[in-house]
Chains A and B, each alone.
Chain A
């Protein structure tokens, strides 16, 4: 199950693991990503907290936690190859996984269809 936020993050749920990244729309708007300031494993966030920062040639933008939880793993390949986020934002360019989240928080997020409509606005 995959859901989207108004701040252009996506979150994909597999059992008790939530994988988080930024959307294709976000990477496209940011331009060439030059640096992903990966969150520390073990960091605990509430929904809407700053998870980490993504830096592009144009701007440095916060990535907000789509769900509350604890950072379980981070995508270490982004340290050496931040451009992976441009190339494959919603697969290889994932940022981190969260555990210990509350599935009820998913309800306020958008489905793929809702998000596509939101981006057209």
Chain B
């Protein structure tokens, strides 16, 4: 059997079968400006020269900047053991196992991961992981529509605008109505507006904790309201915050999802990241994605299997619970190792450190002339400040001074053009925060 993926004859046969003349006409829907026709690289370079060229290009990225940038992805420290362990040959594949039961170690690692996600979220069952926080949340939306047989999904303004764009794309052709409610920068989701939006067609209400603006909320009251209306409550959560914040399962949340990047994955434009997904026991069969289960083999020895596969794509085809039937095994493994290294107490201390640094930064930045702290409700590690100038412009000026100052909110909220979302992690020292405040003062 040949492993050459597509011979010219095969390509021609495939094009003929679908009635297309050439590869170019197959891609006719993609604007020419978006197609890669030629790499902007000189011809005939040696391996070393290519390496040097790409290395120089990569240095244009701001990875040496002192980062106060968050918005869902955070600059946390990664213990060296994470890289060391994931690069073991037994583990080093990014992909889901396709002859799974021969890879007991891989399955055990995924099982441990699922168990940790359950403990972290306070829910009963977790899947083997998804692509990222956004796709996990979009899958939760589809799941809620499927479970309830209803068609409207209510999104609070605290949900990341990036995730909301993804949800709109996912649901665009499915006849699902999205009701998007505003959440004030200063505070928490407006309960009265949420209550008014609930009706017999609402499948789910989607919240985020902390909100995109960094504020912390307890959705227990909302859970009661949502359940009384026969809908599900979905929460997207920042896993590090769960070291001290109330867990979604303890609030009555039905489906919890989130971005797992902060659990031992480096920041990287476009990922690969990690979506986690957990549900209450009675929803487990409607949960998308792969699931590893523990069982005993015929000798009575503990072993692991991929379970509940009958609802998956390769068996249920178009009626599968999801079009995702893969997972991010290597990224999930990083999170598993990271959480094992930290432990319960370590995660708590990490979360407390993030809050303390953020509170110090809030106080310090409030002293800068012209800066106003917009966040009023309690925040976790991130908050909104208002500047006397366009926040995007301030970010550019601070890059020159060695700082990634934060996320300029004007990108998604035109009315908040002067507002900057500032994030703190345990990596930021007091000296860095002080230097940042000084640099901001100079830049304004």
Contact = CB atoms under 8 A, between A and B. Distances in A.
Q: Is A bound to B?
A: yes
B311 interface: yes
A55 B149 contact: no
A35 interface: yes
B149 A37 contact: no
Interface of A: 34-35, 37, 40, 43, 55-60, 62
- Contact residues of A: prevailing secondary structure: strand
B63 interface: no
Contacts of A55: 285, 310-311
B310 A60 contact: yes
Given A37-B285, A55-B310, A60 B149 contact: no
5 contacts: A35-B285, A55-B311, A56-B310, A59-B315, A60-B311
B6 interface: no
**Residue among A34, A55, A58, A60 with the highest chain B CB neighbour number at 10 A:** A60
A40 B149 contact: yes
Interface string B281-297: 00001000000000000
Given A34-B310, A60-B316, A60-B319, 13 more contacts: A35-B285, A37-B285, A40-B149, A43-B149, A55-B285, A55-B310, A55-B311, A56-B310, A57-B310, A59-B310, A59-B315, A60-B310, A60-B315
Interface string B318-362: 010000000000000000000000000000000000000000000
Interface of B: 149, 285, 310-311, 315-316, 319
Contacts of A37: 285
Nearest to A54: B310
Most buried by A among B310, B311, B316: B310
Nearest to A79: B282
Contacts of A62: 319
Contacts of A59: 310, 315
Contacts of B319: 60, 62
Nearest 7 pairs between A and B by C-beta? A60-B310, A55-B310, A60-B316, A60-B311, A59-B310, A59-B315, A35-B285
Nearest to B149: A40
Contacts of A43: 149
A36 B201 CA distance: 25
Contacts of B149: 40, 43
Most buried by B among A35, A37, A55, A57: A55
A79 to B, nearest CB: 10
B148 to A, nearest CB: 10
Contacts of B316: 60
Contacts of B311: 55, 60
A30 B285 CA distance: 18
Nearest to A58: B310
A58 B309 CA distance: 9
A41 B79 CA distance: 53
Contacts of A58: 310
A71 B311 CA distance: 23
A60 B316 CA distance: 7
Nearest to A35: B285
A34 B310 CA distance: 10
B386 to A, nearest CB: 49
A37 B284 CA distance: 12
A44 to B, nearest CB: 11
A95 to B, nearest CB: 16
Nearest to A34: B310
A35 B149 CA distance: 20
Nearest to B321: A60
A30 to B, nearest CB: 10
A78 to B, nearest CB: 13
A58 to B, nearest CB: 8
B376 to A, nearest CB: 43
B232 to A, nearest CB: 15
A35 B321 CA distance: 15
A22 B311 CA distance: 19
A59 B315 CA distance: 7
A43 B311 CA distance: 22
Nearest to B282: A79
Nearest to B286: A37
A41 B315 CA distance: 27
B72 to A, nearest CB: 34
B364 to A, nearest CB: 56
A38 to B, nearest CB: 12
A48 to B, nearest CB: 15
B100 to A, nearest CB: 16
